[in-house]
C-alpha cells in the first residue's frame, strides 16, 4: 500500500488546492501516472503515483486545501474491479442507510426513529472530511450550513462562515416574508468561488497598492517609423528566423536600454536597502482564462530581436496551455504589459510584486499631431510608467519613459544600441 503525498512545490509555496481528481476509488493506476491536479498560487501541478495498483481511498475532496507533505490518497494492490473502498463523498449514502433500516425494524418505537433520522442528517450531507471534523468540533449541523459549491458539497470555509455568522434573534411572525425577498434576488445572481490563483492575484495587487508609493507618468509615441520598419522587414525576418516580427521585441529592447541608463528603475526595495540589479530579466504580462500571469524573458540585453520574439511566443503558449513552471515566473526585474491588444487607450498599470517599475503599452490610434508647423495624421500610442516613488524620483521616471519614446520613434538608434 502506498500513500500519495503533496510534493514539494516551490520554496515559497506551502499549500495548494485540489483542483481535480484524475482517478477515483477503484480505478487502476500505473506507476508514474497522474492521479490528481493541484492548483497553487502560481501554477497547476499534476501529482503522480509512485506505485502501480488500485486507488483505495481519496482523503480530500476537490476544492480542499492541502499542505506539502500531507497524505491525500492511498493506492493499494489489487485489480480495479475488485476495489470496494469508497471515497469520503461516496461513503455518505451508505452510512445514511443504516438509520433507515433501524426505523423499519422498530415501527412501534415512534420517538427513537425520529431521533435517529435527525442524527443522520449530517451523514447525508455531502462534505469534505475536514469540514466534517470542524463541524463536529464546533457542534454544527452540516445541513444548516450554506454552501457555494454548485454540487452542494460543504467545505471547511462554509463551516467557518456559518460558525462566524452572527446569531439571529427569534424571528417575529412577519420574518418569513422578509426572508423571502432575498431568495428572489438570489435567483438573478450567480455566485462563483474565486480560484486560488485569482485570490492570490487579488491579494497581491491590493498589497502593492497599500505598501508602495505608486505613481504613474505618461507619454505618447509616434509609431510611424517603427511600423514602417516592421512592414519592410517582417517577411525577410520570418524567412530567416521562422518567427514573426512584432512590436514587443522593439519595446523590450527599448526598455532594456532605458534600464541601463536609469538603473534605479531596475531595482528592488529590501527594508532600508535598495537592491540595484545587474541583470535584465523582463516580464511580459500574458492574459489567460484564469487571470494574468507574467513569465520572464531572461537576459534581454544578450538576446537579439528574433530570440526575444521566439521566447515571448513560447512563454505565451505555455501560459495558455497551463504548462508554466515556477521558474518561468520568478526573478524578474521589470514588467511590460500591453493593454492595447484589448483596445485600451490609456491605463495606470499596477506594479508587479517587489519590482519598482512597470511599462504599460496601449492601442495604436491615428490622431492629428503637430509636426513642425503642420498638422498630420499619425499612428500614436500612449505609454504609461507606474513606479514606486520611494525608490524612483520624478526626474528618472520621466527620463526613462522619454528614452523609450525616443528609441521607438527612431528604431535605427535602437538597432545600433542592440
1-5, 264-268, 311-315, 343-347: the lowest-pLDDT one: 1-5
Mark which of 76, 94, 116 sits at the end of a domain.
Answer: 76
Assigned domain for 19 exists:
yes
What is the DSSP annotation of 279-318? S--EEE-EEETTEEE--EE--TTT--HHHHHHHHHHHHHH
Using pLDDT thresholds of 50, 70 and 90, give the confidence band for residue 351: very high
Residue owning grid cell 480505478: 27
Could you tell me whether strands 282-284 and 334-338 are parallel, antiparallel, or unpaired per DSSP bridges?
parallel
For residue 101, what pLDDT is reported?
A: 45
Q: Are residues 259 and 407 in the same domain?
A: yes
> Which has the closest alpha carbon to 281: 261, 295, 264?
295
Any idea what the CATH number is for the domain that residue 69 is in? 2.40.50.100
For residue 192, what pLDDT is reported?
A: 86
Say which residues have a Cβ less than 8 Å from residue 398's Cβ, sequence separation at least 6: 217
Q: Are residues 388 and 242 in the same domain?
A: yes
Q: What integer is the mean pLDDT of 310-314? A: 95
Assigned domain for 196 exists:
no
- Asked if pLDDT for residue 114 goes beyond 50, the answer is no
CB atoms near residue 354 (< 10 Å): 16
Asked if 334 contacts 360 with a C-beta cutoff of 8 angstroms, the reply is no
How far does Cα 245 stand from its chain's mean position? 29
Cell of 156: 471547511
- Domain span holding position 60: 2-76
What does the alpha-carbon distance between residue 17 and residue 141 come to, in Å, rounded to a whole number?
A: 25
Q: Catalytic: which of 141, 186, 235, 393?
A: 393
Using pLDDT thresholds of 50, 70 and 90, give the confidence band for residue 290: confident
Summarize pLDDT for 162-202 with one digit per residue, the tens.
877 766 555 555 555 555 555 556 778 888 888 877 888 88
92-106, 235-249, 384-398: the lowest-pLDDT one: 92-106
- Asked if pLDDT for residue 342 goes beyond 60, the answer is yes
Q: Catalytic: which of 141, 186, 240, 389?
A: 389
Assigned domain for 363 exists:
yes
The rounded radius of gyration (Å) of the Cα atoms in the chain is 29
Using pLDDT thresholds of 50, 70 and 90, give the confidence band for residue 315: very high
Assigned domain for 180 exists:
no
For residue 213, what pLDDT is reported?
A: 94
- Asked if pLDDT for residue 105 goes beyond 80, the answer is no
Return the percentage of the chain with pLDDT > 70, whole number: 78
For residue 62, what pLDDT is reported?
A: 86
What does the alpha-carbon distance between residue 163 and residue 154 come to, in Å, rounded to a whole number?
A: 13
5-9, 119-123, 245-249: the lowest-pLDDT one: 119-123
Assigned domain for 146 exists:
no
DSSP state of 334: E
For residue 115, what pLDDT is reported?
A: 41
Contacts 24+ apart (CB under 8 A), 93-100: 93/124, 95/120, 95/123, 96/120, 96/123, 96/124, 99/123
Assigned domain for 198 exists:
no
Say which residues have a Cβ less than 8 Å from residue 142's Cβ, sequence separation at least 6: 121, 122, 125, 127, 131, 132, 135, 154, 159
Burial class (CB in 10 A: 0-12, 13-18, 19+), 147: buried
What does the alpha-carbon distance between residue 361 and residue 220 come to, in Å, rounded to a whole number?
A: 10
Mark which of 42, 76, 110 sits at the end of a domain.
Answer: 76
For residue 390, what pLDDT is reported?
A: 95
Asked if 356 contacts 268 with a C-beta cutoff of 8 angstroms, the reply is yes
Assigned domain for 161 exists:
no
Mean residue pLDDT of the chain comes to: 82
Assigned domain for 85 exists:
no
Q: Is 393 a catalytic residue?
A: yes
Summarize pLDDT for 369-398 with one digit per residue, the tens.
999 999 999 999 999 999 999 999 999 999
Q: According to the per-residue pLDDT averaged within each range, which of 101-105, 111-115, 374-378 is highest?
A: 374-378
Using pLDDT thresholds of 50, 70 and 90, give the confidence band for residue 160: confident
Any idea what the CATH number is for the domain that residue 356 is in? 3.30.559.10
For residue 83, what pLDDT is reported?
A: 40
Q: Is 389 a catalytic residue?
A: yes
Q: What integer is the mean pLDDT of 43-57? A: 84
Q: For the chain, how many structural domains are there in total?
A: 2
35-49, 90-104, 358-372, 381-395: the lowest-pLDDT one: 90-104
What is the DSSP annotation of 150-175? TT--B-HHHHHHHHHSPPPPPPPTTH
For residue 12, what pLDDT is reported?
A: 62
Mark which of 76, 95, 111 sits at the end of a domain.
Answer: 76
- Asked if pLDDT for residue 229 goes beyond 90, the answer is yes
Amino acid at each position: 500500500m502506498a500513500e500519495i503525498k503533496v510534493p514539494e512545490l516551490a520554496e515559497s509555496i506551502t499549500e495548494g488546492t485540489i483542483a481535480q481528481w484524475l482517478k477515483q476509488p477503484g480505478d487502476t493506476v500505473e506507476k508514474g501516472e497522474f492521479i490528481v491536479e493541484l492548483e497553487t498560487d502560481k501554477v497547476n501541478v499534476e501529482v503522480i503515483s509512485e506505485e502501480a495498483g488500485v486507488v483505495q481511498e481519496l482523503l480530500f475532496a476537490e476544492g480542499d486545501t492541502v499542505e506539502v507533505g500531507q497524505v491525500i490518497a492511498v493506492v493499494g494492490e489489487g485489480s480495479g474491479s475488485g476495489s470496494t473502498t469508497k471515497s469520503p463523498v461516496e461513503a455518505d449514502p451508505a452510512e445514511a442507510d443504516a438509520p433507515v433500516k433501524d426505523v423499519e425494524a422498530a415501527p412501534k418505537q415512534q420517538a427513537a426513529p425520529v431521533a435517529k433520522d435527525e442524527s443522520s442528517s449530517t451523514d447525508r450531507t455531502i462534505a469534505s472530511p475536514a469540514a466534517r471534523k470542524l463541524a463536529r468540533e464546533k457542534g454544527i449541523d452540516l445541513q444548516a450550513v450554506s454552501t457555494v459549491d454548485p454540487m452542494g458539497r460543504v467545505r471547511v470555509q462554509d463551516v467557518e462562515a456559518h460558525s462566524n455568522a452572527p446569531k439571529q434573534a427569534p424571528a417575529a411572525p412577519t420574518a418569513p416574508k422578509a426572508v423571502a425577498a432575498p431568495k428572489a434576488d438570489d435567483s438573478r445572481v450567480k455566485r462563483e468561488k474565486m480560484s486560488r490563483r485569482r485570490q492570490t492575484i487579488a491579494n497581491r495587487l491590493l498589497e502593492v497598492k497599500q505598501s508602495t508609493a505608486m505613481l504613474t507618468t505618461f507619454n505618447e509615441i509616434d509609431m510611424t517609423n517603427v511600423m514602417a520598419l516592421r512592414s519592410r522587414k517582417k517577411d525577410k525576418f520570418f524567412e530567416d528566423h521562422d518567427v514573426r516580427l512584432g512590436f514587443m521585441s522593439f519595446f523590450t529592447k527599448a526598455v532594456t536600454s532605458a534600464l541601463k541608463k536609469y538603473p534605479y528603475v531596475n531595482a528592488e526595495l529590501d527594508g532600508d536597502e535598495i537592491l540595484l540589479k545587474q541583470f535584465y530579466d523582463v516580464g511580459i504580462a500574458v492574459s489567460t482564462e484564469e487571470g494574468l500571469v507574467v513569465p520572464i524573458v531572461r537576459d534581454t540585453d544578450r538576446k537579439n530581436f528574433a530570440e526575444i520574439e521566439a521566447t515571448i511566443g513560447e512563454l505565451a503558449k505555455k501560459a495558455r496551455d497551463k504548462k508554466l513552471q515556477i521558474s518561468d515566473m520568478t526573478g524578474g526585474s521589470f514588467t511590460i504589459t500591453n493593454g492595447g491588444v484589448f483596445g485600451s487607450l490609456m491605463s495606470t498599470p499596477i506594479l508587479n510584486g517587489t519590482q519598482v517599475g512597470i511599462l504599460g503599452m496601449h492601442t495604436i490610434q491615428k490622431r492629428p499631431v503637430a509636426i513642425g508647423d503642420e498638422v498630420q495624421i499619425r499612428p500614436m500610442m500612449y505609454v504609461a510608467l507606474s513606479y514606486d516613488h520611494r525608490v524612483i524620483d520624478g526626474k528618472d521616471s520621466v527620463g526613462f519613459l522619454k528614452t523609450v519614446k525616443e528609441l521607438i520613434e527612431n528604431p535605427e538608434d535602437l538597432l545600433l544600441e542592440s
